[in-house]
Amino acid sequence: MAGTQTEPIVVMYFGAGRGPLIRRALSAAKNAGAFIKVVALDKNPNAIVTLRNMIIDEGLEDTVSLIAGDMRSVNADMLKGDILMSELLGSFGDNELSPECLIPTEKYLNPGGIYIPWAYTNFVLPISSQVLWNEVMIYA
């Protein structure tokens, strides 16, 4: 497919943060000889400033588009992509509203589009039940 691709593969990165996965996607596309366009979306004003500076500093204006807003309410109905990346798992698996944010994003994917990650599982495991029991006994 390299060399014959006329339309870009549209990679959407929802919850783009400071952009590390944008750089990875661009690097992977370069290594594969693929033509991509990246759409980065984030609601954090600090992340938007960082992403805007990255786009300018690295000369990515023709490759990366930036949207400021919450993916649950941003008006991007005309947006369609081939790959949707997100790392909205947070430090506890759902503290960044991962299920609530990612479920409605299916409308942005072209038929046959790919989610990255495709799936994940949350679980809680005690570090040590003995330590917790001893602390309860000491303070009881």
Give the pLDDT of residue 1. Answer: 46
pLDDT classification of 74: cutoffs 50, 70, 90: confident
pTM to 2 decimal places: 0.74
Q: Which residue has the tokens 């081939």?
A: 82
Just list the catalytic residues. 87, 96
Q: Which residue has the tokens 């589009």?
A: 113
pLDDT classification of 136: cutoffs 50, 70, 90: low
pLDDT classification of 3: cutoffs 50, 70, 90: low
pLDDT (mean) for 28-57: 95
pLDDT (mean) for 108-130: 74
Angle at 13 between CA 105 and CA 67, to 5 degrees: 85
